[in-house]
Structure 1
Amino acid sequence: MHDFPACGAADIDCLKCPKAVDNLILYASHGRGFRLVVPKCEDNVIMFLLKGEVLVNSEEYPGVRLHTGEFILQAIGSRYEVLAMTDVECVCYRFVQPEFFCEGGYRHVVEEVVPPLIFFPLKICPELNFFLEASKAYLAGEKICRELMLFKQKELAFILWHYYSDYELSMLVHPLSKYTDSFQYFVLKNYGRVKTVEELAHLGGYTVTTFRRIFTSVFHQPVYEWMQERRKEGILYDLQQTDATISEICYRYGFESLPHFSNFCKKNFGLSPRNLRKGDDADASSSVSPSPVLQPV
């Protein structure tokens, strides 16, 4: 263990501090002709253009020019391209959990505000511009103090929800909701086709780390725990509600042998597969958590 001096000490190296985390609000500058192609966003990204002009091409912003003092959001899972038409300066904010947007406000916009027919860039208001200009001086590094990062995230969320209308915020919220719902649909449709988290992540074209992170933010539960609960539900249903043999059910759910399957059932349900099939204990299903009502954050 290293002993680190208190924050503010002259000889501390913040990048080596245990509280240092990846910076999510990054300042960047690029020359004319810079091109970025993102096949699938691994985070939600808000691009604030402080200087210059860029051409954006995505489903929400097809061939749209982003000018100085404007910003847009690209949601997790979306594809976009950016081409710098001039020298540009920008601040990009990456995040996963929309809670930083104010959860109550987020649900209100999703459920009660009609999304725009055509998405357009939002203007950077004076208060937001002050935040961005002040932040860029010390938010260019790859690492930042965790406590400062959380503070800046909350400050940015407050500015967005305080100075922009529900209709303007719908330009940000509805894409988030759309891709969150799409991710849910993918998981619910495909989890039964795979046996491991890794297989499910690869099926969706995600790295395992990214998939775990997105899953936790959407379902509010680690993906392994969620898949285990669904596995137990499926086993119990097949034993009690179908005519499939115990051997068929055993190998369908990836067990190497009947003794392994029997041990799993005794551990999780308190009964052997044969006794579960007989319905000896009507309360066996109580050991399985019911499927949660799946709602995007």
Structure 2
Amino acid sequence: MPSICQGTWDCQICPKAVSNAITHVIYRRGFHKPAQKCEENLILFLMKGEILVNSKEYAGTMLKEGEFILQAIGSMFEMLAMTECECIYYRFIQPELFCDFRFNHIMKEVSPPLIYTPLKIIPELQYFLNGSITYLKGDKVCRDLLSLKRKELAFVLGYYYSDYDLSNLVHPLSKYVNSFQYFIIQNYKKVKTVEELAQLGGYTLSTFRRIFNNVFHEPVYEWMLARRKEGIWDDLNNSECSISEICYKYGFESLPHFSNFCKKSFGASPRNLRRQDIS
């Protein structure tokens, strides 16, 4: 086998290198992160110092050394470093920290806390975090290593923390998913494009697409296109609206454009579709 010179080998350019979802950060006293929507689910482990955090769950909460909190994707989050702070962030999209059975059990059987309070970093978790810092120096990390560290974190949280403790993490995740779904169902008919829907929710386009795919398990454009087709089919067969009214209701610029869309989507013109027996 050819030898590899360790002096010139750069893991950051390896094909297996991926953006590091577990990062080690040091903040100076007075560092302020203004309120903004979280683009991913975020667990903040405070290793040293004190941070004043502000969100719906943790309104004006002083996060102290040896504590951690979760902020769900899409939630508003603000922080101010009261002292010099050392943190470890764990960012994720899918709630990989729990098996489906545990997640659903906590959702159904364990009530959410009346007041959200930071969880303590127990010795087993502290050992994991201290050991992880070594791997968090670069912008990227080996995909295989990251997968192992995620599994180890999932084991530590699942094994050493109670269902009640984990309800501090599970319920915010589930609540956000439900509220995001409600927002989509209530507003997708009001817009014509994915860009307009993202803007209506206050998201960047890339963030909105990522969140949508996580919640609905399909790309937002394909989902909106399917709903558009369903609405057109229903209006053509079950409403008294004219073809022109349906055309402009769904944002088509002209009847020929609308007709071409129907032929491509349903195999027939709007007029012929209206004549079809839907039974």
Choose from 166, 171, 176 the match for 1:174.
171
Which letter maps to 1:146?
R
Structure 1 residue 9 displacement after superposition: 6.4
1:196 equivalent to 2:193? Answer yes
Q: Deviations over 1:226-270 (max 9, x none)?
A: 111100000001111111111111122122322222222222222
2 CA distance for matches of 1:189 and 1:179?
15
2 CA distance for matches of 1:9 and 1:228?
52
2 CA distance for matches of 1:103 and 1:38?
31
Match of 2:82?
Answer: 85
1 CA distance for matches of 2:42 and 2:177?
14
Structure 1 residue 24 displacement after superposition: 0.9
1:144 equivalent to 2:131? Answer no
**Structure 1 contact 71–121 (Cα < 8 Å) conserved:** yes
1 CA distance for matches of 2:28 and 2:260?
63
Choose from 23, 28, 31 the match for 1:26.
23
1:63 equivalent to 2:86? Answer no
2 CA distance for matches of 1:165 and 1:123?
12
Alignment of 1:1-297 (within 5 A): 10=6, 11-280=8-277, 282=279
Q: Size of the alignment, in residue pairs?
A: 277
1 CA distance for matches of 2:14 and 2:176?
35
- Which is worse superposed, 179-188 or 225-234? 179-188
Secondary structure of 1:42's partner? coil
Which letter maps to 2:146?
M
- CA RMSD in angstroms comes to 1.8
2 CA distance for matches of 1:26 and 1:140?
8
**Structure 2 contact 21–92 (Cα < 8 Å) conserved:** yes
Q: Deviations over 1:180-204 (max 9, x none)?
A: 1111111111111111111111111
Secondary structure of 2:170's partner? helix
2 CA distance for matches of 1:41 and 1:281?
45
Structure 1 stretches lacking a partner, 5+ long: 283-297
Secondary structure of 1:65's partner? strand
1 CA distance for matches of 2:260 and 2:59?
56
2 CA distance for matches of 1:139 and 1:103?
29
Which letter maps to 2:76?
R
**Structure 1 contact 52–68 (Cα < 8 Å) conserved:** yes
Secondary structure of 2:175's partner? helix
Which letter maps to 1:131?
F
Match of 1:289?
Answer: none
Secondary structure of 2:135's partner? coil
**Structure 2 contact 135–141 (Cα < 8 Å) conserved:** no
Identity %: 63
2 CA distance for matches of 1:62 and 1:250?
48
Structure 1 residue 101 displacement after superposition: 3.0
**Structure 1 contact 102–157 (Cα < 8 Å) conserved:** no
Which letter maps to 2:248?
Y
Structure 2 stretches lacking a partner, 5+ long: none
TM-score, normalised on structure 2?
Answer: 0.93
2 CA distance for matches of 1:17 and 1:224?
33
Secondary structure of 2:63's partner? strand
TM-score, normalised on structure 1?
Answer: 0.88
2 CA distance for matches of 1:129 and 1:270?
61
Runs of 4+ in 1 over 4 A off after TM superposition: none
